[in-house]
Structure 1
Amino acid sequence: MDPLRRMAVFAAVVEHRSMSGAARVLAMSTSAVSQQVRQLERDSGVTLLHRSTRKLTLTAAGERFYEGCAAMVAAARRAQQQLAHSRDAPSGELRLSAPVGFARHVAPALGGTLAQHPALTLKLLVDDARIDLIESRIDLAVRFGRLPDSSWVARRLCAFEWLLCAAPSWVTAHGTPQRPEDLLSLQWLAFAREGSDLHLELIGPQRETRTLRIEARISSNNQYSIQQMCVAGLGLARLARVDVVEDLAVGRLVALLPAWELAPLDVWAVTPQRDAQPAKVRVAIEALQRYLAGLPGAV
Structure 2
Amino acid sequence: MEAPADLQLPQLRLFLRLADAGTLSAAARQLHLTPAAASASLKRLESLLKVRLVERSTRSLRLTPEGELLREHAQRALGSIDDAMALLGARRERLEGEIHIAAPSDLGRQRLGPMLDDFLAQHPGLRVALHLSDAMHDLRREQVDIALRYGLLRDSGLVARHLHTTTRVLVAAPAYLAAHGSPAHPQDLERHNCLPLTLGGRAQMVWAFAKGAQTVEVRVHGNRRADDGGLVREWAVQGLGLAYKSRLDVLADLRAGRLVALLPQWTRESFPLHAILPGSRHVPLRVRRLVDWLAERFARVEDEGLGDTVRVSPAD
Match of 2:204 among 191, 197, 201: 197
Q: Who wins on radius of gyration, i.e. which is larger?
A: 1
The structural deviation recorded for 1:99 is 2.6
Question: For residue 98 of structure 2, what is the aligned residue in structure 1?
Answer: 93
Which stretches in structure 2 are left out of the alignment for 5+ residues?
Answer: 4-76, 88-92, 307-316
2:242 is equivalent to residue 236 of structure 1: yes
Give the superposition deviation at 1:144.
Answer: 2.1
Cα contact 1:100–1:128 (8 A) shared by 2: yes
Cα offset, 1:79, TM superposition: 7.0
Provide the rounded CA distance (Å) in 1 between the counterparts of 2:252 and 2:78. Answer: 51
| 8 Å contact from structure 1 (residues 197, 216) kept in 2 | no
Counterpart-to-counterpart distance in 2, 1:289 and 1:222: 25
- Asked if the contact 1:229–1:235 (Cα under 8 Å) also holds between the matched residues in 2, the reply is yes
SS of corresponding position for 1:190? coil
- Write the distance in 1 (CA, Å) between the matches of 2:113 and 2:134: 18
The answer to whether the aligner puts 1:161 opposite 2:160 as a matched pair is no
SS of 1:290 mapped into structure 2 = helix
Q: Percent identity?
A: 32
Letter in 2 for 1:201: A
Partner of residue 20, structure 2: none
- What CA deviation, in whole Å up to 9, does each residue of 1:191-212 have, x standing for no partner? 11323333323232x3543333
1:281-292 matched pairs, under 5 angstroms: 281-292=287-298
Per the alignment, in what secondary structure is the counterpart of residue 220 of structure 1? coil
Partners of 2:225 and 2:174 lie apart in 1 by 21
State the Cα distance separating 1:221 from its structure 2 match: 0.9
Q: 1:252 aligns to what SS in structure 2? A: coil
TM-score of the superposition, structure 2-length normalised?
A: 0.60
C-alpha contact (below 8 Å) 1:165/1:236 kept by paired residues: yes
| C-alpha separation in 2, matches of 1:79 and 1:229 | 46
Q: Tell me if the contact between 2:157 and 2:280 (Cα under 8 Å) persists in the aligned partners.
A: no
Q: CA deviation at 1:228?
A: 1.6
Separation in 1 of the partners of 2:240 and 2:117? 36
Partner residue, 1:268: 274
Aligned match of 2:107: 102
What is the deviation of 1:183? Answer: 2.1
Alignment equivalent of 2:218, drawn from 194, 212, 216: 212
Other structure's SS at 1:257 match: coil
- One-letter amino acid of the structure 2 residue matched with residue 244 of structure 1: V
Following the alignment from structure 1 to structure 2, what is the Cα–Cα distance between the partners of residues 222 and 80?
35
Q: Decide whether the 8 Å contact of 1:142 with 1:269 is kept in 2.
A: yes
Residue among 134, 144, 151 paired with 1:145: 151
5+ long unaligned stretches in structure 1:
6-77
- Equivalent AA in structure 2 for residue 174 of structure 1: H
* Cα shift readout 1:94-146 (whole Å, capped 9, x = no counterpart): 12122322333334323444344444332222333223223322111112234
Residue 202 of structure 2 aligns to a residue whose secondary structure is coil
What is the root-mean-square deviation in Å for CA atoms of aligned residues?
A: 3.1
Contact 1:113 1:287 in 2 (8 A): yes
Distance 1:86 1:152, change over 3 A: farther
161-170 vs 278-287, which deviates more?
161-170
Deviation of 1:263 (Å): 1.2
Secondary structure at the aligned position of 1:235 is classed as: coil
Instruction: For residue 220 of structure 2, give the secondary structure of its aligned residue in structure 1.
Output: strand
Task: Give the Cα–Cα distance (whole angstroms) in 2 for the partners of residues 181 and 245 of structure 1.
Answer: 25
Match in the other structure for 1:252: 258
Q: For residues 237 and 121 of structure 2, what CA distance do their matches in structure 1 show?
A: 37
Report if the CA contact (8 A) 2:209-2:216 is conserved: yes
Matched letter for residue 199 of structure 1: V
Question: Kindly tell me: are residues 106 and 186 of structure 1, through their superposed partners in 2, closer, same or farther at Cα, counting changes over 3 Å?
Answer: closer
